């Protein structure tokens, strides 16, 4: 199964002022954001999230994922770029018998993760997943692997295939036209790899990525 599908369409849509972000985006702001520390998660909005707090918005998303991938009650689920573990918390609430795991490069996010899932999270990067082959029924990465430079991102896609025994789902920064490309470059602080959707599809073919995918589009 490999499909371009939006499983995040129940997620609240953020209102974004692309011109304001572009005007505020200085080399120092980008530097702070790429540290993935307190400034990025819980600092000023111009540095990242502007306060990364649990609000239950992922519940409907994980419900859709359970249905699409027919996850059993004891499914094994990995979240790459898990942040503070919000999505994994909601998976555990929906599937109490599930085995959940998450990785993130951010010591701050893991250190401030939700207590319900903190024991299952590790500091690691997507191009070297610390798990055996075919460990997971579902591997997820939401707006994360595009933070890697291209060659490391290729490795990350192959790593997703390696640890997955079932399905995978990723979302990444992309554009379909010039306006979306301009907005994306104004907005994005941390991505190292951004491409036209057609070029992403070519990359999937090159790396053998076999899962579903969707885009972060600055429209």
Give the start-to-end residue ranges of the domains of the chain: 18-213
CATH (residue range 18-213): 3.40.50.150
**Which pTM does this prediction carry?**
0.95
- Nearest C-alpha neighbor of 213 from the set 182, 180, 168, 151: 168
pLDDT band at 1 (very low <50, low <70, confident <90, very high): low
The stretch 144-167 carries a mean pLDDT of 97
Average pLDDT over all residues of the chain: 95
pLDDT band at 44 (very low <50, low <70, confident <90, very high): very high
pLDDT digits (tens, 9 = 90+) for 142-153: 999 999 999 999
């Amino acid at each position: 199964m490999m499909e371009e599908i939006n499983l995040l369409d129940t997620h609240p849509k953020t209102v974004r002022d692309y011109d304001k972000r572009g005007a505020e985006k200085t080399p120092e702001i980008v530097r702070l954001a790429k540290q993935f520390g307190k400034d990025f998660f819980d600092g000023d909005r111009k540095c990242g999230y502007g306060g990364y707090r649990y609000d239950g918005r992922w519940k409907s998303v994980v419900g859709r994922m359970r249905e699409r991938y027919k996850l059993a009650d004891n499914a094994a689920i990995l979240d790459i770029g898990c942040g503070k573990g919000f999505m994994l918390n909601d998976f555990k609430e929906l599937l109490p018998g599930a085995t959940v795991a998450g990785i993130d490069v951010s010591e701050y996010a893991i250190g401030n993760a939700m207590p319900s899932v903190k024991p299952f999270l590790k500091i690691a990067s997507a191009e070297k997943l610390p798990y055996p082959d075919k460990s997971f029924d579902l591997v997820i990465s939401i707006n994360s692997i595009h933070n890697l430079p291209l060659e490391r991102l290729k490795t990350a896609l192959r790593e997703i295939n390696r640890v997955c025994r079932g399905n995978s789902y990723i979302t990444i920064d992309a554009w379909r036209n010039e306006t979306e490309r301009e907005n994306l470059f104004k907005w994005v602080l941390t991505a190292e790899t951004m491409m036209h959707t057609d070029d992403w599809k070519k990359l999937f073919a090159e790396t053998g990525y076999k899962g579903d995918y969707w885009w972060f589009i600055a429209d």
